[in-house]
Amino acid sequence: MREIIVSELTGAIQELARDFARFLPRLIVLVIIALAGLLIAWLLKYIVRSVLRLIKFDKLSENAGASQLLAKAALPSSTELVSRLVFWLAWLGFILLGVSALGILGMDEQVARFFYFLPRLFVALFIVFFGLLAASFFSRAALLAAVNANYPSARLLSASIRVVIMVFVFSMATEELGIAEQTVLLAFGIAFGAIMLGLAIAFGIGGQELARRFLEKRFAHENRGEENEDELSTL
Amino acid sequence: MPEEIAVADRSTTVRAEIKLTEESFLSDDCVRQLMGVGEIDILIGLPTHNNAKTIASSVAAIQDGILRWFPRERAAILNVDGGSRDGTPDLILNAAIDDIRGRKFRNALRTLPSVSTKYGNSAERGTAFRTILAAADLLSAKACVVLSPESNITPEWLPALLSPIYRENFDLVLPSYIRQKFDGLLVSNLLYPLARALYGLRIHEPYATDFSFSGRLGSQFLTQNTWNSDIDRAAFEVRFSTAAITGAYKICQSSLGVKPHVERKSADLVPVLRQTIGELFCVMDPTFAWWSGKNGSEPIPVSGVAPQVELEPVRINRKRLGKMFQTGVAELQSVFQAILSPNTMAELQHIAQTNEDDPFYPSELWVKTVYEFAAAYHKSVINRDHIVQALAPLFRGRVQTFLLENKNSSSAEMENNVENLCLEFERLKPYLLEMWK
C-alpha cells in the first residue's frame, strides 16, 4: 500500500517535472518574444513619434479639433498618444504571439482574433481622425460663409454641421469596429432623420420670416438696386 | 568666337523650346490666326466674359487710340474670351477699323487685325493672361497692353500706357486713377499700404486691370512662373506686379483719369479679397528674401498729369459695416484665436464691444492685425482660404473707422490720411518680421 502511494506520488511528481521541463522552454520563448517585442515596440514608438513630428501631426490634429478634445480629457498630445498606442499595440501583439507559443488550448484562436481586429482598429482610428478634420473644416467654412453673408445664427449653423458630420463619422467608425452594428446604424438613422425633420419643421414654422427674407433677397430683383447703392466699394 | 556662337545657338534653342511649349498651350486655331498676323510691335490684350454691353465702345476707343498715336506701328487686338454667351467675340471681330477711319479722318498706314480665341466656359483670369503673354511672345511684340472692357476705356489710355514702354524703355506701366471719394477702399486701406511697406515702392494700384508691359517682362514672367490649374484660375495682377518689382524691372505709373465706380454686392468682398490680398499673401513666401530687407519706400516715376477734380462720394452704409464687424468679431472668435495674438484678439473684442454704433478701429491695431494674418497665412495655421475669408469682417470694421475719420475730409486730406496709414505699415514692418519667424 505504502509502496503504491509512494510510487504514484513519485510518478506524479516526475510527470509534473516532465511537464514543467516541457513548459519551461516555451516560457523562456515567451519571455524572449516579450522582451524582443518590447524592444521592437519601443523602436516603433520612436520611429512613429519622429515621423509624426516631421509631418507636424500635432498641427494637423489641432486643425481637426482633436487636440482640443484631448486637452479637455487631460490626455497627452496627439503625436504622443498615437506613438504610445502603436507601442502598446505592438507589444501586446508580441506578448500574444509568445502566449500562443505556450500552446494553451484555445489561445491560438484568441490571438488570431486580436490580429484580425488590429487593421479594423486602425481603419476606425483613421476614419475618426479624418472625420474630425472634415468636421472642423466644413464647420469653419460654413461659419465664415454665414458671417460674411451676414446670415443670422452663424455659430448655430456651424455647430450643427460639425455635429452631423461627427455623428456620421462615429457611426462609420463603430460599424468598422463591429461594435453593436445594428444598434449604431439604427440610432444613426433615427438621429439623422430626427435632425433633418427638426430642421425642416424649424425652418418651416420658426423661420418663416427668415425664409421670406431669404427668398426675397434671392429672387426679388426690383429691390436690388436700392440695397446695392450703399454697398462697400473695394477696388 | 565659337563659344559665342554656341551660346547664341543655345539661347535660340531655348527660345524655340519656350515658343513650342507656349504654342502647344495656345489652341491650333489661335496659333493659325496669330501666324496670319505675323510679327508685331504692339499687342492689345482684351480679356472678356459676357461684355457685349461695353465691348463695342472699348474696341472703338482702342482703334482710335492706335490710329491716332501709333499709326506706323504694327499692332493687333487679341480677344481672349472665357465662353461669353452674348456674342462678345463677334462684336470685336466685326468692329471694322474703317468706321473709325472715316469718322475721325485718321490715316493709318497699317491695318489693325483682330484675333479672338476662347479658352473655356468660365472666366479664368490667369488663363486669359497666360494666353495674352503667349501670343505676345509668339508675335515678338515689343509692348503689350491689357485692358479690361469693364473700364471706361478712352483713346488717350493707349498712349498713356504704351508710350512709356515703347518710347521710354519702361517694362511695366501701371495705372493711376482719380476715384470718387470712398471708392477703392480695399486698395487704399490694405493693398497699397501693405504692398508699399513690403516692396518699398509707392505703387498706388498693385492690382491693376488696365496696364501695359514690355515684351521682355512678359516673356520672363511666362517662362519663370510655374503655371498650374490653381494659378490659371487665380488673379494674376498682384503676382505680375510683384514679379516686375522683384525682377528689378523699370516700373512707372500713368495717369488714366477718372475710374468709373463699379457697383458691387457685399458678398463680392470675399472673392475680391482672394484675388488681391490672398495673392499678395501668397507671393510673400517666395519673395521673403527680397522684401525682408527693405525699409521705408520710394516713389516711382509718374507720367501724365492727373486733372484736379472733386467727385461725388460713393454712398456706403457705415452702420451696416460696423454691425458686420461686431458680428464677425463675436462669431469668429474660434477662428481668430488660431490667427491672432492674444493681445490683438483682446483689443479687437474690446473695440467691438464698446461704442456699439461706431466702433473705432485704430490704424496701429489694423496694421498689426494685417501682419498677424500674413504670418498666419505663411504658417498655414488653418486653411489658407479660411484665413483670407476671416479678414473680411475686420476689413469692414477698419473701413467703417476710415469712413468716420474722413467723413468731412477733402480729397487731399483723405490722401494724407492714407499716407499716414502707409507710414504706419512701414513703421511696424519689424513686427511682421517678428511674427513671421
- Mutual angle of helices B215-224 and B125-138, in 10-degree steps: 120
- What CATH number does the domain containing B209 carry? 3.90.550.10
Counting Cβ atoms within 10 Å, is residue B434 exposed (0-12), middle (13-18) or buried (19+)? exposed
Same domain, A140 and A212: yes
In terms of domains, do B171 and B220 share one? yes
Residues A124 and A88 in one domain: no
Residue A205 lies in a domain: yes
B101: closest CA of chain A, how far (Å): 35
- Are residues A98 and A124 located together in one domain of the fold? no
More confident position, A10 or B314: A10
- Is A21 inside a domain boundary? no
Max Cα distance, chain A (Å): 118
Whether A142 and A207 map to the same domain: the answer is: yes
Q: Grid cell 507671393 — which residue?
A: B283
For residues B328 and B364, membership in a common domain is answered with yes
Mutate to test the interface with A, among B331, B383, B398 (most CBs of A within 10 A): B331
Q: Smallest CA–CA separation between B336 and chain A, in Å?
A: 11
Chain B closest-CA separation from residue A209 CA (Å): 20
Choose among A148, A228, A231: nearest Cβ to B389.
A148
Is the CB of A149 less than 8 angstroms away from the CB of B183? no
User: Under a CB-based contact definition with an 8 Å cutoff, are residues B397 and B249 in contact?
Assistant: no
Residue ranges of chain B whose pLDDT lies below 70 = 1-24, 96-110, 225-234, 260-267, 306-311
pLDDT at B391: 95
Task: Tell me whether residue B340 is in a domain.
Answer: yes
Contacts of B41 (CB under 8 A, 6+ apart): B70, B73, B74, B75, B141, B142, B143, B166
Q: Say yes or no: B340 and B245 in one domain.
A: no
- Chain mean pLDDT for chain A: 81
For residue A87, is it within any domain?
yes
Q: Which of B187, B335, B393 sits opposite A235 (nearest CB)?
A: B187
Tell me, yes or no, whether A142 and A206 share the same domain. yes
Cβ burial, residue B82 (10 Å; 0-12/13-18/19+): buried
Domain encompassing residue A40: 27-104
| pLDDT given at position B124 | 78
Q: How far apart, in whole angstroms, are the C-alpha atoms of residue B72 and residue B83?
A: 33
Tracing cell 498706314 back to the chain, one arrives at: B109
Own/partner pairs for B373-380, CB < 8 Å, 24+ apart? B373/B281, B373/B339, B373/B340, B374/B194, B374/B281, B374/B284, B374/B432, B374/B435, B374/B436, B375/B432, B375/B435, B375/B436, B376/B338, B376/B339, B376/B340, B377/B281, B377/B282, B377/B284, B378/B281, B378/B284, B378/B285, B378/B436
Residue among B321, B327, B382 whose CB faces A232 most closely = B321
- Tell me whether residue B299 is in a domain: yes
**Are residue A123 and residue A35 in the same domain, yes or no?**
no
B401 belongs to a structural domain:
yes
pLDDT at A191: 78
Domain tally, chain A: 2
B198 and B257 share one domain: yes
pLDDT at A228: 46
Query: What pLDDT does B102 receive?
Result: 55
Distance CA(B151)–CA(B209), nearest Å, equals 8
Q: Are A181 and A149 found together in one domain?
A: yes
Whether A55 and A135 share a structural domain: no
Q: Which of A144, A231, A235 sits opposite B335 (nearest CB)?
A: A144
Task: Give contacts of A235 with chain B, Cβ < 8 Å.
Answer: 184, 186-187, 207, 262, 272, 276
**Contacting residues of A for B327, CB less than 8 Å apart:** 147, 150, 154
Is A12 part of a structural domain of the chain?
no
B26 contacts B135 by C-beta, under 8 angstroms: yes
Which residues is B211 bridged to in the sheet? B146
- Domain of B338? 318-436
**Are B380 and B253 in the same domain?**
no
CA–CA separation, B230 vs B127, rounded Å? Answer: 10
Residue A4 lies in a domain: no
Least confident of A147-161, A184-198, B363-377: A184-198
Q: Residue B321: closest CA among chain A residues belongs to which residue?
A: A232
Q: Smallest Cβ distance to A232: which of B207, B335, B399?
A: B399
**Which tens digit of pLDDT belongs to each residue from B2-48?**
444 444 444 455 455 555 555 567 888 888 888 888 889 999 999 99
Pair B295, B371 in one domain: no
Check: CB of residue B217 under 8 Å from CB of residue B146.
Answer: no
- Residue B45: count of CB within 10 angstroms of its CB: 25
Are the CB atoms for A95 and A88 separated by under 8 Å?
no
Q: Which of B303, B337, B358 is the last residue of a domain?
A: B303
- Is residue A67, in this structure, part of any structural domain at all? yes
Tell me which long-range contacts B403-409 makes (C-beta under 8 A, separation of at least 24).
B403/B182, B403/B316, B403/B318, B403/B321, B404/B318, B404/B358, B404/B360, B406/B181, B406/B182
- The more confidently predicted of residues A1 and B352 is B352
Nearest to A233 among B207, B314, B331 (CB): B314
Q: Are residues A168 and A192 in the same domain?
A: yes
Residue A109 located in a structural domain: no
Q: Which residue of B has its CA nearest to A143?
A: B332
Q: Are residues B336 and B247 in the same domain?
A: no
- Determine the residue among B210, B261, B325, B383 to mutate to test chain A binding: the one whose Cβ has the most chain A Cβ atoms within 10 Å: B383
Which residues in chain A touch residue B328, judged by CB atoms under 8 angstroms apart? 147-148
The backbone torsions φ and ψ at residue B131, rounded to the nearest 5 degrees and listed phi first, read -65, -45
State whether B340 and B260 are in the same domain: no
The Cα–Cα gap between B411 and A98 comes to 85
Radius of gyration of chain B (CA): 23
Asked if residue B427 and residue B388 are part of one domain, the reply reads yes
Say yes or no: A149 and A202 in one domain. yes
Indicate yes or no: CB of A148 within 8 angstroms of CB of B186.
no
Contact between A144 and B389 using a beta-carbon 8 Å cutoff? yes
- Across the interface, whether the CB atoms of B263 and A144 are under 8 A apart is answered no
User: B264 and A155: CB-CB below 8 Å?
Assistant: no
Query: What confidence score (pLDDT) does residue B434 get?
Result: 93
Task: Say if residue B271 is in the same domain as residue B324.
Answer: no
Both B280 and B133 in a single domain? yes
**Residue B309 falls inside a structural domain:** no
Inter-chain touch A234–B272, beta carbons under 8 Å: yes
Q: What is the pLDDT of residue B265?
A: 56
Query: Residue B401 — φ and ψ, nearest 5°?
Result: -65, -40
pLDDT at A65: 67
Contact by Cβ (8 Å): B48, B77: no
Please indicate, yes or no, if residue A2 is contained in any of the structural domains: no
Identify whether B403 is part of a domain.
yes
Q: What is the per-residue pLDDT for B96?
A: 61
Same domain? B288 vs B323: no
B149 Cβ contact list (under 8 Å, min separation 6): B46, B48, B51, B54, B55, B58, B88
pLDDT number for residue B125 = 80
Task: Please check whether residue B310 lies inside any domain of the structure.
Answer: no
Structural domain total, chain B = 2
Residue A232: pLDDT band by 50, 70, 90 thresholds? Answer: low
If asked whether residues A131 and A82 sit together in one domain, one would say no
Give the whole-angstrom CA distance, residue B274 versus residue B122.
17
Concatenate the DSSP letters of all residues of B15-33 into one string: HHHHHHHHHHHS-HHHHHH
What pLDDT does B36 receive? Answer: 85
Pick the residue from chain A with its C-alpha nearest to B393: A148
Instruction: For residue A231, give how far its alpha carbon lies from the nearest alpha carbon of chain B (Å).
Output: 5
Q: Is the ipTM of this complex over 0.90?
A: no
Of all residues in chain B, the one with the smallest CA distance to A63 is B382
Q: Render chain A in DSSP notation, one character per residue.
A: -HHHHHHHHHHHHHHHHHHHHHHHHHHHHHHHHHHHHHHHHHHHHHHHHHHHHHTTHHHHHHHHTHHHHHHHTT---HHHHHHHHHHHHHHHHHHHHHHHHTT-TTHHHHHHHHHHHHHHHHHHHHHHHHHHHHHHHHHHHHHHHHHHTT-S-HHHHHHHHHHHHHHHHHHHHHHHHTSSHHHHHHHHHHHHHHHHHHHHHIIIIITHHHHHHHHHHHH-GGGHHHHHTT-----
Same domain, A74 and A99: yes
**What residues are paired with B40 via a beta bridge?**
none
